Amino acid sequence: MKELERLKKDWNKHQNFPELSKEEIYKFLHKKSSSIVKWIFIISLLEFGFWLLIALATKNNEAQQRFDTYNVDHIMIPLMVIGYVILIYFFVIFYKNYKEISNSDSTKSLMQKILNTRKTVKHYVIFNLVFLFVSSIVGAAIEFSNNPDLKLTILKFENTNDLYIFYAIVIGITLISIVVLSAILLGFYYLVYGILLKRLKQNYKELEAIEVE
């Protein structure tokens, strides 16, 4: 392509950029970066914080206090330990991935590493949703077998032969709550990361396509 060859020949001749002084360049060093890695890191920390807050917020509420009277520590403590161990595991992996991000890597490798940190947090959120689901079921089972008010309600429904309606309502409410919460979270991710990672994902796909072709 002769036009491109000509452009290449004259490439540096025509580039008359005004020269920046040392002082001007020096000022840049102290400005804030707007890098997407910084934003992903901040948002990820907020996500970790969000789930931690949820765990702490539900710790001392009425239901929790009631649970304490049921003597179900053999179920609750392992569940809590598993939750925290997995949180630490995810955080370590996330931090390791984050530290590995280097802006002097090859373009493809840099993109891969950024996407990996994202993937870790995504897995963490999925784990939390599953954990929430399992905990809800375990919690409901404990309530059903220990809460005197609930026992009475079950008995009432049993007497009128409407027990299936009661269970249908309970399961329905649980499922709707989980679906609504998941939808809110997924909507949030779609919005935040959709905007933040759109260009990166497109470019990564482009690079992958080059390798496949």
Partner 1 sequence: MKSTNENEFVTLVQKHQNLIHKICSLYTKSDAEHKDLFQEITIQLWKAYPKFRGDSKFSTWMYRVGLNTAITLYRKSKRRIQSQNIDDFSYKIPQTEAYDDTEDQQLQLIYEAIKELNDIEKALIFLYLENKNYKEISETIGISEVNARVKMNRVKKKLKKQLNP
Q: Which residues contact partner 1 by CB under 8 A?
A: 1, 3-4, 6-8, 10-12, 14-22, 24-29, 31-37, 39, 102-111, 114, 196, 199-200, 202-203, 206-207, 210-211, 213
Please report, for residues 58, 99, 176, the alpha-carbon distance to residue 115 in angstroms, rounded to integers and kept in the order given: 32, 13, 31
In terms of CB distance, is 10 or 68 closer to partner 1? 10
Minimum CB–partner distance for residue 8 and partner 1 (Å):
5
Query: Please, is 19 exposed, middle or buried when counting C-beta atoms within 10 Å of its C-beta (0-12, 13-18, 19+)?
Result: exposed
Rounded Cα gap, residues 116 and 106, in angstroms: 15
Minimum CB–partner distance for residue 29 and partner 1 (Å):
5
Helix (H, G, I), strand (E, B) or coil at 173: helix
| First-residue to last-residue Cα distance in the chain | 23
In terms of CB distance, is 110 or 178 closer to partner 1? 110
Minimum CB–partner distance for residue 42 and partner 1 (Å):
13
Minimum CB–partner distance for residue 177 and partner 1 (Å):
35
In terms of CB distance, is 17 or 164 closer to partner 1? 17
Rounded Cα gap, residues 135 and 121, in angstroms: 20
Minimum CB–partner distance for residue 197 and partner 1 (Å):
10
In terms of CB distance, is 97 or 128 closer to partner 1? 97
Rounded Cα gap, residues 213 and 209, in angstroms: 6
In terms of CB distance, is 11 or 164 closer to partner 1? 11
Minimum CB–partner distance for residue 5 and partner 1 (Å):
10
Residue type, 141: A
In terms of CB distance, is 177 or 202 closer to partner 1? 202
With contact defined as beta carbons under 8 Å apart, do 40 and 114 qualify?
yes
Tokens at 137, concatenated:
């079921």
With contact defined as beta carbons under 8 Å apart, do 71 and 114 qualify?
no
